Amino acid sequence: MSNTQALPLLEADVPEAVAPCCPPLTERPFTADEAETAARMFKALGDPVRLRLFSAVASHEGGEACVCDISDVGVSQPTVSHHLKKLKEAGLLTSERRGTWVYYRVEPSVLAAMGKLLTSTSAAS
């Protein structure tokens, strides 16, 4: 008997599913809270191992990856777990335990919010 459960997907075209942490950088200066949230995300992605893990999860077939499939990033398994924990704390990954393995997912709304943050609102002159 399996107790696996599929994580719900958020639709990218549903306005409440895409809740960017901050306005686009060119729209207005960040508030202190917006800057803190954005800095936490960028700090988590500022480490090459974390960026590789985030990329591995985001690009994995089916939109989620078992830790057993993404742990070959040149560091020990405890270090991989530490980096995945930091990505989760930054709100970049979600996880679900299935038996002895943990599966990670990048929610589509997170990618959309990150894209909106780095999008310019002004037209090129």
Asked if the model's pLDDT at residue 15 lies above 50, the reply is no
Give the up-direction half-sphere exposure of residue 89: CA atoms within 13 A in the CB hemisphere.
11
According to the model, what pLDDT value does residue 122 have? Answer: 56
According to the model, what pLDDT value does residue 27 have? Answer: 83
Assign a CATH topology to domain 32-118. Arc Repressor Mutant, subunit A (1.10.10)
Residue whose structure tokens are 């780095």: 118
According to the model, what pLDDT value does residue 93 have? Answer: 93
Reference 53, options 5, 116, 102, 14; nearest CA is 102
State the chain's mean pLDDT as an integer: 80
Provide the residue ranges of all domains of the chain, joining segments of one domain with +: 32-118
Report d(CA 111, CA 71) in Å as an integer: 22
CB atoms within 10 A of CB 19: 12
Report d(CA 25, CA 119) in Å as an integer: 7
Question: Backbone dihedral region of 10: left (phi > 0), alpha (psi from -120 to 50 degrees) or beta?
Answer: beta
Asked if the model's pLDDT at residue 4 lies above 70, the reply is no
Q: pLDDT tens, 28-43?
A: 898 998 888 888 888 9
Residue whose structure tokens are 């959309």: 112
According to the model, what pLDDT value does residue 83 have? Answer: 95
Query: 30 or 2, which is more confident?
Result: 30
The sheet with strand 101-105 has its strands ordered as 64-66, 101-105, 94-98
**Whole-model pTM over 0.85:** no
> Which stretch of 28-32, 70-74, 105-109 has the lowest confidence by average pLDDT?
105-109
Residue whose structure tokens are 């002895």: 100
